A = this chain, B = another copy of it.
Amino acid sequence: MTTRTSDNEFESQAQALGFDFNSENKIGGNYAPVILHGHEVYVSGQIPRIGDEVVVTGAVGKDVSLEEAQLAAKICVVRALALLRNQLGSLSKVKQVLRITVYVNSAHHFTQQSEVANGASDILLRVLGEAGRHTRTSVGVAQLPKGATVELDLIAAI
């Protein structure tokens, strides 16, 4: 039952954001999207990519709005959850999210990085319930890979 709840809620969140899991999570390059070791799982930094396209780019406070940056944070965390589900079989295996770090591509004067990160935190709680409660660090950075507006990484206990 719990299994179905987490995974179903995840799918409904992901579909609402436009994900098509047939084309997602192509892996390239010389690092791993997820490493599972003992009872901990690390997820690489995710940018707001859907399929092959980074869908939210630019600095918040200049190129994109707070709302668009929150959307970017949601897409990042859904990608992280998709990777966890692929790795673990079901999101019900996640015992606790330990830490997310949210890097926000920020115009010089923009100071609402926490508000941007709330987009990701809300989804973790909605999909995982109490297991989705997490510590968080959100910072404003100068630039991100491919010009992404947000990058998010995650550590969880299973």
Contacts and interface: CB of A to CB of B under 8 A. Distances in A.
A108 to B, nearest CB: 6
A45 B38 CA distance: 24
Interface stretch (A5-13, A14-22, A27-35): A27-35
Interface in A31-53: 31-35, 37-40, 42-45
Nearest to A118: B30
A145 to B, nearest CB: 5
Interface string A145-157: 1110001010101
Interface of A: 29-35, 37-40, 42-45, 95-101, 103, 106-114, 117-118, 121-122, 125, 133-147, 151, 153, 155, 157
